[in-house]
Amino acid sequence: MKKSILYITLCLFSILQISCEDNREQYLDDYSTILYFRNSGEIEYSIYKTEEMTKYAVAIAKAGSDKNAKTTVEMKVMDEVMLAEYNENQGTHYKILPSGCYSIETGNLTFAATEMYKKIDLSFYTEAINALQGEEQENEYIVPLFLCNSADSINAEKKYMFIKPEVITPVVSFEKTGYVMNSFPETGGNHIDLTLPLGLSIENKWSFDCYTEVDETLLDEYNREQGVNLMLLPPASYTMNQGGIVKMAPDGENKLDVRVTREGLSYGNYVLPLALTGTSFETIDVDPAKNSCLLGVSYVPDAGDLPSIQLVESMISYHPNSICEGSVAELIDGDPGTYFHSDYSVGVALPHWLQFALSGEISAFRFEYVTRNAGSHVVPHRVSLYGSADGVEFKKIVVLSSELPFDVGQTYTSPVLVTGEKIKHIRMTVDESPSGSFALAEFRLWAL
C-alpha cells in the first residue's frame, strides 16, 4: 500500500514538473524580467521612391513583474552562417541586405529602472535598395536582427526580427474611372462645370504637375467593347484648366476642371476621353489601372419637358417569357408592396429583361423603378438600356451600375437619356444581380 502511494506521489510530482516546464516562459513573464522585440518575425516595410532615406523604429521591450528592474541585452545583425542555419531550420530563403543599403547601431542596450522599451532607428537608403531589387528580384533581402547576451531572460519566440524593405513607387490616379455620366440640360446656364479629382497613393508632401490629355482611342475601345455609339465631345465645346495640367500640392484641391459649353452640341451622348500621361516628379508615376476616365456629357432636353407615358400591361414583354412570381401588371399598379419577378425556375441565365413597346417614336426618355421591398439578392446591380425602331434590331444606349441602389425598397430615377435616332421600343436588361434573376416593385417612364 505504501509503495502504491509513493508511486502515485512520484507520478503527480512528475506531471507538476512537466507542467511547470511547459509554462516556464509564462512564469518568467509574471515574476522575472524578460526581453523581446515588440514586433518580431518577418516585417514587410514599404519605403517610397520619393524619399532618399527612410527610418524604421526597431522596438525592444522589457517586461516582468518588477517594473523597476535594470537590465542589459545585446542586439546584433545575423552573420551569413547564422542566417544560413536559420534558413535551413525554418525553410526560408533570406539573404542579408548589403551594408550599403542600410545602417543601424547595434550592440549593448541598457535599460534603466524606468525604461520599459527602447527604440533604435534602422535607416534604409532608397536608391541602393531600389537598384538591388531591380537586379535581383527573386531574392528576399532582409535585415536579420536578434537579441542575445542578457543576464535576464530573452523570449525565445520573439528574439528574432527580419525587416524586409520594399521600394514602392507612389502613383497618381483618377478617383473616377471608366464611363462617368453627366447630364447637360438644354436650358439654364450656357455651360456646366465638371470636376475630376486626382489622388496619390500615399500622403502627398510635394508640389508637382500631373499631365492629362484627350485620347480618342479610349472612346473607340469603349464603344467597341460595350456596343454603344458615344460621340467625341467637340473641341470647341470644352476647356480644361491649365490645358489639362493639374497642380498637385499637399493642401491643394488636386483636381481637373472641365467647362463644357453649348457650342456645337445637339441632343446626344458625348464623351471627353481623358488619360493621365505622367508627372513632373521623376519618382511619382501614373497608376496603370486608374489612368483613364470617359467623362460623359449627355446634352439632353430638360427632364420636366418629358411627358409621362401611361404604361399598360399589353405594352410590356419580358425575358424569360414566363413568370414564377408576380406579374407585369404589378409593376404599374402604384403599390410598392407588389412586384414582378423574372423567372428563375427555368434556368435561363442573365441578362433578363423588360421591354416596352411605345405608341409613337421618341428621341429621349427617362425612367424610374422601385426595388422590391424584401430580398436584396434580387436587386439589379447593373442594367443596360437599348433602343429599337422595329422591336427586332436593338442598339445599346447606356450601361448603368454604380448609380443604382443595391438595397430593398429603394427608388432609382435615371437621368434623361437620348437615343441618337427615333425609336419605338425600349429594352432594359438586368445584366447583374446577386441571385441571377431580378424583381421590381414599380416602373415608370417618361419620353419625348
Kindly report the CATH number assigned to the domain that includes residue 384. Answer: 2.60.120.260
Q: Kindly state whether residue 286 falls inside one of the protein's structural domains.
A: yes
Same domain for 296 and 159 = no
What are the residues whose beta carbons fall under 8 Å from the beta carbon of 434, sequence distance 6 or more? 376, 377, 378, 379, 381
- Helix (H) / strand (E) element for 180: namely strand 178-180
Q: Which helix (H) or strand (E) segment is 212 a member of? A: strand 208-214
* pLDDT tens-digit series, residues 295-341: 999 999 999 999 999 999 999 999 999 989 999 999 999 999 999 99
Are 117 and 192 part of one and the same domain?
no
Which of the listed residues 275, 300, 325 is the one where a domain comes to its end?
300
Whether 148 and 178 map to the same domain: the answer is no
Tell me if 262 is assigned to some domain: yes
Q: Are residues 233 and 99 in the same domain?
A: no
Final residue before a domain boundary, out of 107, 139, 168: 168
Same domain assignment for residues 224 and 124: no
Distance CA 357, CA 342 (A): 18
Contact criterion met (CB below 8 Å) for 124 and 56: yes
Q: 442 and 394, same structural domain?
A: yes
Q: 31 pLDDT exceeds 80?
A: no
Q: Are residues 149 and 58 in the same domain?
A: yes
pLDDT band for 138, please (50, 70, 90 cuts): low
Residue 217: all three cell numbers together: 482611342
Q: What is the pLDDT of residues 35-79, one digit of tens each?
A: 999 999 999 999 999 999 999 999 999 998 887 889 999 999 999
**pLDDT at residue 23, as a whole number:** 41
Tell me, yes or no, whether 413 lies in a domain: yes
Q: Is 159 helix (H, G, I), strand (E, B) or coil?
A: coil
Q: Which domain holds residue 210?
A: 171-300
Chosen domain end from 133, 168, 203: 168
Cβ(156)–Cβ(187) below 8 Å: no
Q: How far apart are CA 39 and CA 60, in angstroms?
A: 8
Residues, the chain, total? 448
| Cα distances (angstroms) measured from residue 257 to each of 234, 252, 297 | 17, 13, 14
What is the domain-level CATH number for residue 209?
A: 2.60.40.1740
pLDDT tens digits, residue range 194-217? 999 999 999 999 999 999 999 999
Q: What string of DSSP letters covers 27-92? A: HHHHHS-EEEESS-EEEEEEEETT-SEEEEEEEEEEESS-TT--EEEEEEE--HHHHHHHHHHHT-
74 and 131 both lie in a single domain: yes
- To which residue does cell 438644354 refer? 186
Residue 305 lies in a domain: no
Asked if residue 14 belongs to a domain, the reply is: no
Cα distance between residue 222 and residue 225, in whole Å: 5
- Give the Cβ contact number of residue 229 at 10 Å: 13
> CA-CA distance, 129 to 143, in Å (whole number)?
12
Nearest residue to 375 (alpha-carbon basis) of 443, 298, 439: 439
What is the band of 136 on the pLDDT scale with cuts at 50, 70, 90? low
Are residue 368 and residue 435 in the same domain, yes or no?
Answer: yes
Query: Residue 15: inside a domain, yes or no?
Result: no
Residues 145 and 260 grouped into a single domain: no
Residue 307 near residue 425 (C-beta atoms within 8 A): no
Q: Measure the N-to-C terminal CA separation of the chain; round to a whole number of Å.
A: 106
Q: pLDDT-derived band of residue 139, with 50, 70 and 90 as boundaries?
A: confident
Instruction: State the burial class of residue 112 (Cβ atoms within 10 Å of its Cβ: 0-12, 13-18, 19+).
Output: exposed
Same domain for 66 and 136, yes or no, is yes
Task: Report the C-alpha gap between 199 and 266 in whole angstroms.
Answer: 34
Classify residue 32: in a domain, yes or no: yes
Run of H or E residues at 2: helix 2-22
Q: Number of folded domains in the chain? A: 3
pLDDT of residue 7: 41
With respect to residue 10, please indicate whether it lies within any of the assigned structural domains.
Answer: no
Residues 249 and 359 occupy one common structural domain: no
